[in-house]
Amino acid sequence: MGLKRSIFWISLTLFWSLTFLGQDKEIQFNIYFDHDKYILNPEQQTRLDSLIALPDKDRYDLHINGFTNDIGSAKYNLELSRKRAEHVKQIMRAFTIISSIGQGELGGESASNRRVEIIFHPKSMHVAMEGEIVEPPIATQPMIDLSQRFTMPKIGERIALDGILFYPDQDVIMDQSKEVLEQLVSLLNVHRGLKFKIMGHICCGDPERPAMDVINTRTGQQDLSYARARSVYLYLLKKGISRKRMRFMGMAYRFPTGLGDEFDRRVEIEITGINKLKETDQEMSESEINSTKLDSIEH
């Protein structure tokens, strides 16, 4: 049922996009949240992903307004509405964002009040307002070629896996990362003697407590850097990379780059061994993958 619903929403959104693209008029689109949540459920996330794929992004400004129902205090609801708007804004950064505001509660307990409004406003119709904050789009990353970084790998060398992206504050890998991940799998299959450690890093940590991780909002656990490294580990495992070659660790804020949040928020691999293979490694079976237990900080 979930897959059918996702296909339905994608089809509906694409139909909607083809209807309004090319027309200079304002369009409102609503994304809905579960009760007391500011992270989208998978169905609504699929709808938002289909919006990200829309063409002609440079023709529109986005205005994002978050709302809640009136269950709970007004102060709590105002903050929840702000978090909802911020969550959607971070996912829609391929567009120009004119405003992202938490508007607070709407009267009544209706589920339709638990929403974020995304208003597509043609740039040709925009009237500048005093005090408005314009956030330019974050450009799509250029094609990333990891092969140059694997030309002459050395023990102790760290290789940043640029292009592996996660949903905000979660350990869920975004679909845009697939090309880089597939490159990585191919390179690891070429360099079959490499052993390595996958290391997740966070931004915005506390310099006084660099080992303290931040909350993974998908699970509620304070282990985001660890969980992101684990997600990459699991992806490689399912693609046939032997677990005997890999470990993973959450590094929290131990190694900030000094270049800003964008660079601190990253996944790296560190080469821990280079073996000369006498014969082709056996690939891990499906049952071995499913039976792998991930219950320690480092693997």
Residue 257's pLDDT band (boundaries 50, 70, 90)?
A: confident
Is residue 194 located within the same domain as residue 264? yes
Report which listed range, 133-142, 144-153, 229-238, 286-295, is most confident: 229-238
Is residue 162 located within the same domain as residue 278? yes
32, part of any domain: yes
pLDDT reported for residue 17: 52
Is residue 84 located within the same domain as residue 198? no
CATH number, domain with residue 246 = 3.30.1330.60
Q: Average pLDDT for residues 85-91, to the nearest whole number? A: 89
**Residue partners of 11: CB distance under 8 A and separation at least 6:** none
3-state helix, strand, coil in the chain (%, to 5): 35, 20, 45
Among 93, 12, 91, 10, smallest CA distance to 46 is for 10
Residue 271 phi, psi dihedral angles, 5° rounding: -70, 120
Among 135, 79, 72, 128, smallest CA distance to 103 is for 79
Is residue 121 located within the same domain as residue 191? no
Residue 132's pLDDT band (boundaries 50, 70, 90)?
A: confident
pLDDT reported for residue 283: 43
Is residue 99 located within the same domain as residue 159? no
Q: Which stretches within the chain are classed as H helix?
A: 2-20, 42-52, 74-91, 178-190, 224-238, 261-264, 286-291
Classified as helix, coil or strand, 198 is strand
pLDDT reported for residue 293: 40
pLDDT reported for residue 277: 62
User: Buried (b) or exposed (e) across 270-296, using 16+ Cβ within 10 A?
Assistant: bbeeeeeeeeeeeebeeeeeeeeeeee
**pLDDT tens sequence across 197-254:** 999 999 888 888 999 999 998 899 999 999 999 999 999 999 999 999 999 999 998 9
pLDDT reported for residue 79: 93
Domains in the chain: how many in total? 2
DSSP designation for 296: S
- Looking at 40-49, 131-140, 246-255, 279-288, which range is the least confident one? 279-288
Separation between Cα atoms, residue 35 and residue 77, nearest integer Å: 11
Does pLDDT of 66 surpass 90?
Answer: yes
**Token couple for 10:** 């994608």
Q: Within a 10 A sphere around the Cβ of 68, how many other Cβ atoms?
A: 28
Is residue 287 located within the same domain as residue 151? yes
pLDDT reported for residue 182: 92
* β-bridge pairing 96-105 and 158-160: unpaired
pLDDT reported for residue 229: 96
One-letter identity of residue 185: V
Range of the domain at 65: 2-125
Rounded to 5°, the CA angle 284-285-286 comes to: 125
Q: Average pLDDT for residues 241-269, to the nearest whole number? A: 89
pLDDT reported for residue 114: 95
Q: Average pLDDT for residues 117-133, to the nearest whole number? A: 84
Among 245, 294, 253, smallest CA distance to 271 is for 245
Q: Average pLDDT for residues 9-36, to the nearest whole number? A: 68
Residue 129's pLDDT band (boundaries 50, 70, 90)?
A: confident
Residue 123's pLDDT band (boundaries 50, 70, 90)?
A: confident
Laid out side by side, the sheet with 115-122 consists of 27-32, 115-122, 60-68, 96-105
286, part of any domain: yes
134, part of any domain: no
Q: Average pLDDT for residues 90-116, to the nearest whole number? A: 90
Higher pLDDT: 292 or 13? It is: 13
Among 117, 99, 121, 35, smallest CA distance to 72 is for 35
Residue 292's pLDDT band (boundaries 50, 70, 90)?
A: very low
Is residue 18 located within the same domain as residue 114? yes
Is residue 34 located within the same domain as residue 81? yes
**pLDDT tens sequence across 163-172:** 888 887 889 9
Q: Within a 10 A sphere around the Cβ of 154, how many other Cβ atoms?
A: 7
Higher pLDDT: 142 or 25? It is: 25
Q: Within a 10 A sphere around the Cβ of 176, how many other Cβ atoms?
A: 15
Write down the mean pLDDT value for the chain.
82
pLDDT reported for residue 284: 42
Is residue 231 located within the same domain as residue 101? no
**Token couple for 187:** 């390179």
Is residue 103 located within the same domain as residue 194? no
Is residue 33 located within the same domain as residue 162? no
Examine the fold and report which residue of 125, 159, 188 is the final residue of a domain before the chain moves on: 125
